[in-house]
Amino acid sequence: MTRFDGGRAVLLLAGAIAAVLAGPAQAADSAAGSREAIRRADVAFCDALRARDRARFASLVTEDARFFSGGEPSAGRDDVLKDWEVFFAADGPRLTWAPVHVEAAASGDLGYSTGHYELAGKNADGTPRIGTGWYVTIWRKGSDGLWRAALDIGTPPSAKK
């Protein structure tokens, strides 16, 4: 027959209570870490396009991404790159953005960023035009730990005031 060890039982109970109480705090820490990682990925995504770096931009898009740019949605990374090719051209329009709000699921593998964008280009007659709008990007964490854009949609650009 085993002897009851009250001291060990108290330590085990205290450990169990600490684990339960730490759960929400650890989840909050995890979500905060995910939010910051998503914010960094969103900024890196914009930086890649600003630098017209097609390969770096592509590395931040999921293989099965869906991007909505006004016409038919892009279906898959290759389709996204084809639809966004104009932004990689040296004389192409400039699209920049910055995240304003970022959220992450408690699971730590899905989140979104939303923010303001600016599109600068030229009209058909060559005169400059600048439009602004809002976007939302859904981010998914890959098995390699990197966050990539899985879905992107923006409001139509309105003339900058």
Instruction: Determine what percent of the chain falls in helix, strand and coil, rounding each to the nearest 5.
Output: 40, 35, 25
Cα–Cα–Cα angle for 62, 29, 100, rounded to 5 degrees: 55
Report which of 154, 12, 129, 157 is spatially closest to residue 69, judged by C-alpha positions: 154
Least confident of 16-20, 109-113, 140-144: 16-20
Q: What is the pLDDT of residue 161?
A: 58
Report which of 84, 155, 148 is spatially closest to residue 117, judged by C-alpha positions: 155
Please determine, for residue 67, whether its predicted confidence score (pLDDT) is greater than 60.
yes
22 band by pLDDT with thresholds 50, 70 and 90: very low
What are the tokens at 160? Answer: 């900058």
Using an 8 Å Cβ cutoff, are 140 and 152 in contact? no
Neighbours of 15 (CB within 10 A): 10
DSSP state of 142: -
Mean residue pLDDT across the chain: 85
Rounded mean pLDDT, 27-39: 80
What are the tokens at 65? Answer: 């991404």
What are the tokens at 85? Answer: 């090719």
pTM: 0.79
pLDDT digits (tens, 9 = 90+) for 91-127: 999 999 999 999 999 888 999 999 999 999 998 898 9
Report domain 6-159's class: alpha beta
What are the tokens at 53? Answer: 């770096």
Task: Kindly list the domain boundaries of the chain, sorted by start residue.
Answer: 6-159
